[in-house]
Amino acid sequence: MQILYVTTISSTVNVFLVPHIKLLLEQGHEVGLAFNIDQEVNPELITLGCKVHRIDFHRNPLKKENLTAYQKIKKMIIDEGYEFIHVHTPVASLLTRIACRKIENVKVVYTAHGFHFFKGAPVKNWAIYYPLEKLVARWTDGLITLNDEDYYAARNMKIRKRGLIYKMHGVGLDTNRFIPQTNERKLHFREHYGYHANDFILIYVGELSHRKNQKMLIEAVNMVKDEIPQLKLLLVGDGDMASGYKKLVQRLGMDDRVDFLGFRKDVQQLMTIADLAISTSRQEGLPVNVMEAMATGLPIVVTDCRGNRDLVDNGKNGFVVSGEDTRACAKAIKELYLSRDLRRKFGDRGREMIEVYSLHSVLSELKEIYSKLFLPVNKQYNDHSGGQ
């Protein structure tokens, strides 16, 4: 088949979707890519024969540039003869589904990495994104969600083919990169990065933003710093709140407790040196940072939001605390600091739970979903693949 992957920006493909595209290529399909190029396209995809189409999507759905993007992608799909379109990210998926609504013999499937409307979302999100998603659902042949809340929301939308709404366990975590922590590796990398063997290290990987809400964690650490004298917090990532968070740390007198590490490519090693992983996010789809920590064998503390609660079973592999409840977060940190056995128990359970989110498991799920979506159009594909 002629298959097109569409995302708003190229980095989404580079970070999350390369294994998915390779799966299709290995099955003999031709795959094109369409997006706004914010990052050089993964060279492996070019080598494997993927055709790249630059479409200048704008992340703000109300920007006039998106009208041009809509016209361009509609013409390109017709001219290139694509039969199956897999769309990701809100703006690109919205415009592409509208563009395909009257094109014959084209199937469109949408992966929702996290609807912009969710429990606790701002009213404007519900006012803008919910009606738009309901509208374009009628031009959607299949809808894939990554968490429970989105799955149940999707079931209330009327897509073209009833029943073709799926829940997948994320985009696939590479468990060859994030491996169980051992004391030997932990001490080795602590020495490498300049941390002490007896430090109690917390790690939060994510952009420094209002959404990720590092402010709550910084304030929680401030509450327990005198009771945990060896406590260190590693904040991994960049973002528009970096300056504000650094000023907060200075004001609280915690420059020696909080390390801002910026964007890093060695997250798997940094996870290895930690004792505890935390996410105080206000909103998630299905957080990769939490999955990476689980694969490493870390106990987790997260806020009670969509995505976080899909991964963390309170009292089983970590603690789930109410959003904005700084005292509850501080209490969870202290409880895990005081009990090595509890940390070990949570970490072991997390490693068991993460297997279903592994790349191998997720690609198996995706292959099954594709076989169901392709069946009405391409019987030969299904005969060749054993009738999946």
The CATH number of the domain where 70 resides is what? 3.40.50.2000
User: Which of 13, 169, 170 is closest to 88 using CA atoms?
Assistant: 13
Mean pLDDT, the chain, whole residue set: 94
Q: How deeply is 210 buried, as exposed, middle or buried, from its count of CB atoms within 10 A (0-12, 13-18, 19+)?
A: middle
Among residues 170, 206, 211, 167, which one has the least CA distance to residue 16?
A: 170
Same domain, 42 and 156: yes
Domain region containing 125: 2-172+358-384
Same domain, 278 and 375: no
Query: Could you report the per-residue pLDDT of 342-388, keeping only the tens digit for each?
Result: 999 999 999 999 999 999 999 999 999 999 887 544 443 333 333 33
338: exposed, middle or buried (Cβ count in 10 Å: 0-12, 13-18, 19+): exposed
- Do 371 and 351 lie in one domain? The reply is no
Structure confidence at residue 375 (pLDDT):
54
| DSSP state, residue 281 | -
297 in the same domain as 363 = no
**pLDDT at residue 382, as a whole number:** 36
In the prediction, which pLDDT does 383 show? 34
In a domain, 177, yes or no: no
Query: Would residue 268 count as lying in a domain?
Result: yes
Residue 178: inside a domain: no
What is the per-residue pLDDT for 388? 31
Among the listed residues 282, 278, 126, 290, the one whose alpha carbon sits nearest the alpha carbon of residue 210: 282
Return left, alpha or beta for 199; rule: phi > 0 is left, psi -120 to 50 is alpha, else beta. beta
Do 234 and 349 fall into the same domain? yes
Paired residues of 358 in beta bridges: 173
Counting the structural domains of the chain, the total is: 2
Residue 9 domain-assigned?
yes
pLDDT tens profile 324-334: 899 999 999 99
Specify the pLDDT at position 277.
98
> What is the per-residue pLDDT for 165?
95
Q: Can you list the residues of the chain whose pLDDT is less than 50?
A: 376-388
Tell me the C-alpha distance between 143 and 205, whole Å.
Answer: 29
Q: Amino acid identity of 26?
A: E
| Residue 380: per-residue pLDDT | 38
Residues 18 and 130 reside in one and the same domain: yes
pTM over 0.85: yes
